[in-house]
Structures are given as C-alpha cells and as structure tokens.
Structure 1
Amino acid sequence: MANNEPDVKNDVPGLAQGLPPEARREQITGHVNKARSCRVEELAEIFAVSAMTIHRDLDVLAKEGRLQRIRGGARAITARLAERDVRLRRHLNSEIKGQLAATAAQLIERNSVIALDDSTTVGALGDYLEEREPSTVITHSLALMGAVSAMAHIDMVGLGGQYYAETDSFLGSIVVEQAERLMADAVFVSTTAIKDQALLHPDAEAARTKRALLKMGRRKILVVDSSKYESAGIYHVMDLSEIDDVVIDDQLDPKLMSQLRTLGPRIHIVNTSAKAHS
C-alpha cells in the first residue's frame, strides 16, 4: 500500500486527520486497546479516512499480531488469546515489557555467561545485549538466536530440540538434557502465572524447560509484570523462594508485594504509569 493514500477526508477536524499510515496504525492500536473493541465506521470517523482504508489498516495490524480482526471491526489482544501465539504475545503489554527489560538488563554483568528463556518479556532483553556485553548467551528462543548471532562480540549457545511455532522456540527433553550440562552466571526467565508463591505455566514442556534453565544459573532472575499474579497455571516451574531477583512493575497489589518481600529475593521495581494489564 502506498504511503500517500488519496482517501483522507478533509471535513473531519482533529489531530488524527492526515496521519501517515504507520502513525495512524499505531494510534488505531492504542485506541482499540483502550476501548477493547471498535467498529470500522467508528475508526473511520476518528481517523478521518474511508472505511476501506480502515479495513486495510486492520488487516495489516491483525497480520502483525497487534489486534484481532472481528466481523465489522477489531478487538484488543487479551492475555488468554495471546498465550496461544508468540506473535500476539510480543505486542501484549509491549511498553511494560520494554521497561522491565531495561531494568533487568542492568543485572547483566560484563563478560558473564547468561541464559535467556523464550518468553517475550525476556526476549525484550535482546535490545540491550550489545551494550551490556555478556561473553555468552545461552537460549532456546529462535528469535534470540537470530538476534545474538549478529552480535560479533557475543558467543551464543543455542539449545535445540523439538521446535514449537507457537512459542518460536525449542522445548522438551532434548533441550532439558542440554541445559543440564551447562552452567550460567545468571538466568533470566518470565512466566505465565504466579500463585501460591510459585511460578506456574499452562504447558508441561515449557514448564520443564524453564525449570532446567533456572537450575543452570548461579543467579536466578524472574522478569515479570504484575498481571501474572494470581493467574491460572497448572505445571510447577519453581518456588519463588528459590529466585534470587525479581524485576516487576509497581502495580502489584501491596499485600502481594509484602508477601513477595518475605520470601527474600532482591526486588527491582519498575516505575510505570500503567494502571491495568490485559
């Protein structure tokens, strides 16, 4: 699609009028996330473009995993929906994930060996690896393997096994066996759920793989947003009392934060203006 679209309406006032396509799509995403769902006609009026342009925008945004297409419009990606597709999870709470990653990156020591899991939260650490200069990165995330392979001064150990498209990573017994033969100065993981003072995950193979990664680390670091507290999970990954550091946003319920502190990990709080998580 051309960047200069001819169908911008000139009779609708407002800052949304006349935006280039990428800027408009960014604002459409934010509007739908805030409203939870919107119809095409509503978006066309707000952004002063034709319904056909909005249809094209929503098709692009849905393909990129930033929104879900529904009949006559679009709706926000929820955590439950996103858990089934890594493409969707990469856009869920992306601003908070970036803030968490920026703080977690400060825990990477120069010339250290680090291990990173396949979560999209930990995946955001990829943007900080070159400046933090670990000597080696161990990961089972295919996306991180691609990113680190382009970093000339960082060695990479890729954990291979059965590839799962829904997580864009390698999981299962082969990965676990490789992890059991490795050591890392620090391991960074996230998780789908925290309940009863434990990390939980809805998938057995993913839980087993995360557990193996954590066990290889001298320092175990959990990077998680507060929406994961009290969420549903079936398979036990590790007790919170075994975690050395927790990087979390400041929206966690004070009672839960107090409970977390009693378990003894070093807590690194990320200040954010977000008031809710999907």
Structure 2
Amino acid sequence: MTLPSSRGARQQRHQLIVDHVLARGDATVAELAELTGVSLMTVHRDIAELADRGILRKYHGGVSAQPSMVFESSSDFRLHAHADEKEVLARAALSFVAPGMSVMLDDSTTALALARLLPEVGPLTVVTNYRLITEELRGAEGIRLICVGGEYSRTHDSWIGLPAIDMISGVSVDLTVLSTSGMTAGMTFHQEQEIVSIKRAARQAGATSVLLMDHSKVGRRALHRLESVDSFDHVLLTGPVDEELLREMRELTDVRVIEVNEVNEAE
C-alpha cells in the first residue's frame, strides 16, 4: 500500500501504523515500511513523531502500543476514526435541536459532526471548548458562539482546566451533546481525569443531555468513571450492540440504536 507524501497522507499513514500496532501489540520498522509502502527512513521519522506524542512506545527496531491509550485523546486521530458513524449519529441528534435553543458541545469529534449541521437549524447559541467547532461555526449566520477558555491542550485541540470548568459551570443551556471513550450497561468512562471533569460539568449544565457513541465504544471501559448511564436523558448508539447490554441500558434511560443505512436512506 503506497500513500502519497502530503500532510493528509502522513496523517493517514500514522493512523495506519497505530491501528496495525494496536491490533498486534508491536511491529518492526521493516514490517511498517512494507505496510505503508514508504522508505525505512520515513517510517523511522513517523515512529519518532508518534513516540514523541506519547502514542506509541519506541524500542530498537520497532514500536509497541502504549497502554495508556493516549492515541484515543488525540484530536487528529479521533477525526479519522469511525467518521461515517459519527455523521449518522450527528444527523440523528439534530432532531433534539430546535431554533432558539442554547446548545453545549464538548470536544468530541462526534459533537463536531453535529456542529457542521447546526446552521441548518439556527438561530442558536452554541457553547464549546473545542477549537475545531469554533472554527466551523465562527462564520455561520444565525449562530451565537460562546467559546470556553482555559488551558489549551494540543492533544485534544481544546481548552481545559479549572478556568474552563468554572466557565462551563457558570452557564445553563437547553441541551448538552457529548461523547466519551467507553460505556458499559450502567457506566460511562474516559481515560483522562481532567477531561472527566470537563464532561461532567458540561453534562450538568444542560437541561437535557444526549450521549452519542459509535459502536466501538460500547461494552468497553477506560480508566476513570465519568457518569452513570442514567445521568443522560438520551443515548444514541450505532450498531451492532449486544442485545443483553442494550436491554440493561434501556432499563436506565432512553437508548436508541441508529442504523447507518437507515439514516442514509432517509436523506
């Protein structure tokens, strides 16, 4: 598989390398060069960059996966993961938005997919700590944009920390839409405690909360507990979802499974 050398192709190559290493636990430089179709020197540069960002662990002759799952926090990598499912979830979530509402969006790439649809509904007030959402909506007519400030995180491409939490806690919105790293039948999770605090504050700021989760996040855990599933008013998932898990979740709150083909046909 040969990829061109543009910046976008480098990101695709990095994603390919990470996916390969995560699936197998480790990989040699020669193996990754064959996988990506680039030179050994290029692979060494890719590995050095990924190791510097804490996504992979470099050793002599190869790399292994970081147990911390830092890659899941990287905005760049999240943008390319399950993009079709995120668009489907965003389209389904749009039904909760009505003109005149105030909406808070977290720094998930699923919320970004929803942000791209919001100009269809305006006028709206949108509150967010995610830089990519502010870029998406800053020129949109009918959107009053409130940007949450704080400490800028290059990994998440968003503003976090105590100033961000204080600002989020100081507002009250009609609707909060967010996503996170994993969920079981009764609990949601995220791998980083500082992001847990931001998401908790965002969920609590909304009169109604909607959780959007693609199928890869369902039935899995991360290091920190976020909120119980029944803390969310609505949970939207893409399938397939284990039937027993789904039944248990539906005993706690409104859970809807959104089929990708179903939404595409509706459009």
Per the TM superposition, whether the score is higher than 0.5 is: yes
1:1-278 aligned within 5 A: 80=69, 82-195=71-184, 197-226=186-215, 227-237=217-227, 239-271=228-260
Give 3-state SS (helix, strand or coil) of 1:138's partner: strand
Which has the larger share of helix? 2
Q: What's the CA shift string for 1:210-256, capped at 9, x where partnerless?
A: 1111111111100011234222231434x111211111002111111
Closer/same/farther in 2, CA of residues 110 and 259 from structure 1, 3 Å limit: same
Aligned partner of 1:232: which letter? A
After superposition, the Cα gap between the structure-2 partners of 1:38 and 1:258, relative to the gap in structure 1 and judged at 3 Å, is same
Deviation per CA, 1:13-61, whole angstroms, max 9, x where unpaired?
A: xxx9xx9999x998xx89x979989999999999999999x9xxx99xx
RMSD (Å) for aligned C-alpha atoms: 3.8
Question: How far apart in 1 are the matches of 2:165 and 2:78?
Answer: 24
CA–CA separation in structure 1 for the residues paired with 2:32 and 2:224: 39
TM-score by length of 2: 0.73
Whether the 8 Å contact between 1:100 and 1:270 is mirrored in structure 2 is no
Deviation, 1:137, is 0.5
Aligned letter for 1:231? Answer: R
Which amino acid letter does the alignment assign opposite residue 200 of structure 2?
R
Contact 1:96 / 1:272 at 8 angstroms: preserved in 2?
no
Letter in 1 for 2:219: Y
For the residue of structure 1 that corresponds to 2:99, the secondary structure is: coil
Where does the alignment leave 5 or more consecutive residues of structure 1 unmatched?
Answer: 1-15, 63-67, 274-278
Which whole-Å CA distance do the structure 1 matches of 2:141 and 2:195 have between them? 30
The aligned amino acid for 1:248 is L
**TM-score (normalised: structure 1):** 0.70
- Whose Rg is larger? 1
* Matched length: 253
CA 84–49 in structure 1, closer or farther in 2 if over 3 Å, else same: closer
Q: Deviations over 1:90-110 (max 9, x none)?
A: 111112212211211222112
Within 2, Cα distance between the matches of 1:194 and 1:211? 15
**Quick check: 1:161–1:171 contact (8 Å CA) kept in 2?**
yes
Where does structure 1 differ by over 6 angstroms across 4 or more consecutive aligned residues?
Answer: 19-22, 32-52
C-alpha contact (below 8 Å) 2:218/2:241 kept by paired residues: no
Structure 2 residue aligned with 1:9: none
